[in-house]
Structure 1
Amino acid sequence: MPTRILIEGRPGVGKTTAVRRLATLLHTRDVIGFTTEEIREGGTRIGFALETLDGRRAVLAHAGFPGPPRVGRYGVDLGVMERLALPSLEQASRNPAPGQLVLIDELGRMELAYVPFRETVRSLFGADVDIVATVHAHIDPFTDALKQRSGVAVVRLTQANRDALPEELAARLEHG
């Protein structure tokens, strides 16, 4: 049975840092997916960038983007999800490679605003592929349903465990 891990944490606790560290620790796995990070200007958050694990990067959401959709004060460029996030994830959902691990940071409101992404995530959770994804600790129908699925482990990321968790997950994912 494939490994399914959702790393749940409050904003700012270090989810992105933890999954980036996890990706660097996995030496026997073919890791695909993406991370997101804040874009700051003068100490103020003005947007979010999406970066694939193979190094492609684009601005996903920005206070200056018109939208739609809008998530909070940010307009979201769904084309970034289509061009960068979706291709490798769709391939993994249709034809997962042996030893492949899908890493998604994150299953958040901006990313889930793109319906084909939600559909691909559903397909991935039904495919024979290992998945590690980050989720916010708030209530959301889509992520709450994933958390309730059989075989899904929800791991809380806190300030107390955020430094050790990537190594623990890497050991689990590399050695069973």
Structure 2
Amino acid sequence: MGRFLLLTGDKAAGKTTAVRRVVEEVGIERCFGFFADEVRRDGKRQGFGLTTLDGHKGVLASTDSESTLRVGGPNSAGVGRYGIELDFLEKVCVPLIRKATSRSGREILVLDEIGPMQLYSEPFKEAITAVLSGSPHALVFGTIVLRSTPWADQFKKLPGVETFLLNEQNRDSLARMMSLYLSETLRTL
């Protein structure tokens, strides 16, 4: 069974910043996976992107999207502000996740994030579940949505999944603890 160590917390708690710091401290060469990013234009959030640790970038959600799958507060047309685009997630990120089932366990799969938009993708959920159930050496570090969603709530309860509540007060110490733990775990494999 794989092991998932997931930070959770309120919006803007610094989860992605903490994950980036941990990856930097552990060493990006010992990690694979992806980060979630805000996409801004003229200082305003226009959507969300995904960036793989090897530098590939794609869109997850955008105000410019024509997708009928919409999230966020309604725009001027009365529909969700962001259209969800699953192509990059499913064609680039899901195969990265699936690689964790065949790797030796000497690398960390970084998943930033297991969030509401990503959970619209069945292949994404299936790939994560396969890593947890079918990869005895998989070590996963990332983030997961705090607010209640049926799939994420069930996933958090599974054996092998540990969540850590991140907030402004513990952000630095929790990131440091994760860095030390993951470095030591990789060293002993």
Q: Could you state the TM-score of these two structures normalised by the residue count of structure 2?
A: 0.86
* Equivalent residues in 2 for 1:1-176, closer than 5 Å: 2-27=2-27, 30-72=30-72, 73-93=81-101, 95-126=102-133, 127-128=135-136, 129-176=138-185
| Kept after mapping to 1: 8 A contact 2:3/2:132 | no
Matches of 2:67 and 2:28 in 1, distance apart? 40
Q: Secondary structure of the residue that 2:27 maps to in structure 1?
A: coil
Q: Does the 8 Å CA contact 1:71/1:109 hold for their aligned counterparts?
A: no
How far apart are 1:137 and its partner, in Å? 1.4
Distance 1:28 1:138, change over 3 A: closer
Task: Provide the secondary structure at the position in 2 that maps to 1:164.
Answer: helix
Superposed displacement of residue 99, structure 1: 0.9
Specify the code of the residue in structure 2 equivalent to 1:99.
R
1:44-74 Cα shifts (integer Å, max 9, x gaps): 2110110001111122210110113222221
Q: Which runs of 5+ in 1 are unaligned?
A: none
Distance change (3 Å), C-alpha of 1:145 and 1:25: same
**Does the 8 Å contact 1:29/1:99 carry over to 2?**
no
Contact 2:60–2:88 at 8 Å: present in 1 too?
A: yes
**Cα offsets for 1:108-149 (capped at 9, x unmatched):** 111111110110011111122011121121001111112111
Flag the structure with larger Rg.
Answer: 2
Aligned partner letter, 1:38: E
Dislocated runs of 4+, deviation >4 Å: none
Amino acid at match of 1:82: E
Count of residues in correspondence between the two structures: 175
Matched residues in 1 for 2:68 and 2:121: separation? 11
SS where residue 105 of structure 1 aligns? strand
Query: What is the percentage of aligned positions where both structures have the same residue?
Result: 33
* CA distance 1:21–1:64, change in 2 (3 Å): same
TM-score w.r.t. length of structure 1: 0.92
**Distance in 2 between residues matched to 1:24 and 1:58, nearest whole Å:** 22
Q: CA deviation at 1:2?
A: 4.4
Q: Superposition RMSD on alpha carbons, in Å? A: 1.7
- Going from structure 1 to structure 2, the CA distance change for 1:28 and 1:16 (only over 3 Å counts) comes to closer
Map Cα deviations across residues 50-108 of structure 1 (whole Å, 9 max, x no partner): 00011111222101101132222211111111222112111213x12231211101111
Contact 1:29/1:101 (CA < 8 Å) preserved in 2? Answer: no
Q: Is the 8 A contact 1:19 1:105 kept in 2?
A: yes
SS in 2 for 1:106: strand
Q: Aligned AA for 1:104?
A: L
Alpha-carbon shift at residue 29 of structure 1 (Å): 6.8
CA distance in 2, matches of 1:153, 1:92: 18
Could you tell me how far 1:36 is from its partner in structure 2?
0.7
User: Partner letter of residue 37 of structure 1?
Assistant: D
* 1:79/1:155 CA distance change after superposition, 3 Å: same
Aligned in 2, Cα 1:28/1:112: closer, same or farther, shift over 3 Å? closer
